Structure formats: structure tokens, C-alpha cells
Structure 1
Amino acid sequence: MTELSEDDRAAVNELRGAVMRLSRRLRHQRVDETLSPTEMSVLGTLARCGSATPGELARKEHVQPPSMTRIVAMLESKGLVRREPHPDDRRQVVVTRTEQAAAMLEESRTKRNAWLASLAEGLTPEELAVMRQAAPVLEKLAHL
């Protein structure tokens, strides 16, 4: 493991602040204002990872299982997920996103991408090149 220099630590601090501000602004670019950020995150996890048990979702979302049970119930009442019997364990259920959720996520993704693209239009060609290089690094940090 490489020890960070003082300049690297300053860059980490600057990155943290920038990511937090950008994330906050992105959250305001939602299609459905009735969903909480956690509910949107659960739908995103189901889109990326496929169907899952509530326990698996709780682990992936870093919430307690009872909280996930409430989140799944809320999403189900809005027609965004459905619970189905687990194929191997009759004591459990599997949560699957609905077509309505897939359409809403796609609309949300399109809106957020358009907003970010409009911001990127204000960047110089050099800054755009840096952004293209930074995207995979930020993705890696998000999953470490």
C-alpha cells in the first residue's frame, strides 16, 4: 500500500468535497420526487445485480434487514418491485424490479446524463480528456 503525500491528501480532501457537492446536485435531478434516495438506490441495485432477497439487499445497501423489509414494502406498494417465492428456500422471497421501475430508472438516468452533459459542455477539451480518464478511477473508488 502506498502512503499518500501531503499533496495527495489535499487532493483527496478536494475530491471528497467535489463529489459530495456533485452528488447532492445530481440527487435533485430526480424524475420521481416521492422516492427517497435509499429507495432509488435499492432500485438501482436491483437493476445492476438482478433479483435478490431482502437480506441480500440489506447487505448491499448497508442497512438493517428490518429497514430493508420496510423499503421493499414501500416500493411494492408503489408498483416498483414484486416479491416472489424463493426458488430454493420457501421461507424466503426474492425481490424483483418491475417494468415500471425499469422505465422510471431509465428516465431518471436519461435526465441526469443530460444534466451532466450540459455541464460538461462548459469544459475545455483538456478538461474533458481528464474527465474521461477520471471516470474509471472514480468507479474503482466507489467499489473498493
Structure 2
Amino acid sequence: MPEMSEDDLLAVSQLRSSAMRLARRLRHQRVEESLSPTEMGVLGTLARCGKATPGELARREHVQPPSMTRIIAMLEEKGLVRREPHQEDRRQVVVSSTEQAEEILNESRRRRNAWLAGLAEGLDEEEWERLKAAAPVLYKLANL
């Protein structure tokens, strides 16, 4: 990528600031107040990626394995995950989400989508079209 101009640096700064503020506001649209953002993140990872070992979850969520063990224990106590023996390595377990967790995630997504759609109603047609066109690029950035 070539050296950034002042306009590019301003755009990067606005993108960072906007993404952080929007993410913070989205976090306040929680369905289940008893779950921490980290616990919701683990449930989201399980929903996206399927069953995983605690070590895999720790890597994906960028936490230390002992912390993930505690998170899994709390989620299991709440009936949101279950542990099963690993099919190939009996020394390990595989964690999967329960139906209750999937219901919480679905309601959370529904509520956050509705909130964001409500905000989008304040945009004019041209702004909405530009935002829709930018959505795949933002998705790519978020997943690099």
C-alpha cells in the first residue's frame, strides 16, 4: 500500500473512531445481561465455527487457556454449553453450544439488527447505498 495522504489518515482515524463507538453502542443492546462480552463472544464463536476444544476457543478468543476453562465452566453451569469427549483424543473435550445458547444469540442478533436498522433509517438514500456497498469491505477488515 502506498504512503497515506492526509485525507487517507483522516479517513482511517474516522473509521477507527466510528467503528469503536458503534461497537460500544451495539454492546449495550444485549439480551442476556448476565453474560459478559467474553462469554457472548465464545457462544458466537461456537455458533460460527461449530464444536471446538477449549484450546481452540482460547486461541480464537485471544485469552489464556486457564481463563477459557473458567469461561466454559461458567457457561456450562448456565446451561449454555456442553462438554463431550473428543472423538480422536480421549484426553480432551469438545465444547458445543446448547439450544438455549442459540436462542440467546438469535435474539441478540435480532435486537442488534433492529437497533442498527433504526439508525439507518436516519440516512438518506445515497448514504444508505454507500453504506450497503461498504458493508462487505468492513466485513473483510473485521475478519483479516
Q: TM-score, normalised by structure 2?
A: 0.98
Q: Distance in 1 between matches of 2:137 and 2:120?
A: 18
- Partner SS state of residue 76, structure 2: helix
Q: Distance in 2 between matches of 1:66 and 1:9?
A: 39
Deviation by residue 1:21-54 (Cα, 9 ceiling, x = unmatched): 1111100100000100010000000000000000
Q: Which residue matches 1:35?
A: 35
Deviation by residue 1:92-115 (Cα, 9 ceiling, x = unmatched): 000000000001100000000000
Deviation by residue 1:49-77 (Cα, 9 ceiling, x = unmatched): 00000000000001100010000001000
Partner AA of 1:27 in structure 2: R
Matched ranges for 1:67-78 at <5 A: 67-78=67-78
Q: Which residue matches 1:89?
A: 89
Aligned residues: CA RMSD: 0.8
Q: How far off is 1:7 after superposition?
A: 1.1
Q: Distance in 2 between matches of 1:2 and 1:86?
A: 48
Partner AA of 1:82 in structure 2: R
Q: Which residue matches 1:49?
A: 49
> Can you give the 5+ residue segments of structure 1 that lack an aligned partner in the other structure?
none
Q: Percent identity?
A: 74
Q: Distance in 2 between matches of 1:2 and 1:52?
A: 40
> Can you give the 5+ residue segments of structure 2 that lack an aligned partner in the other structure?
none
Aligned length: 144
- Partner SS state of residue 96, structure 1: strand
Q: Distance in 1 between matches of 2:79 and 2:17?
A: 36
Deviating 4+ runs (over 6 angstroms): none
Q: Distance in 1 between matches of 2:3 and 2:35?
A: 41
Q: Which residue matches 2:6?
A: 6
Partner AA of 2:103 in structure 1: A
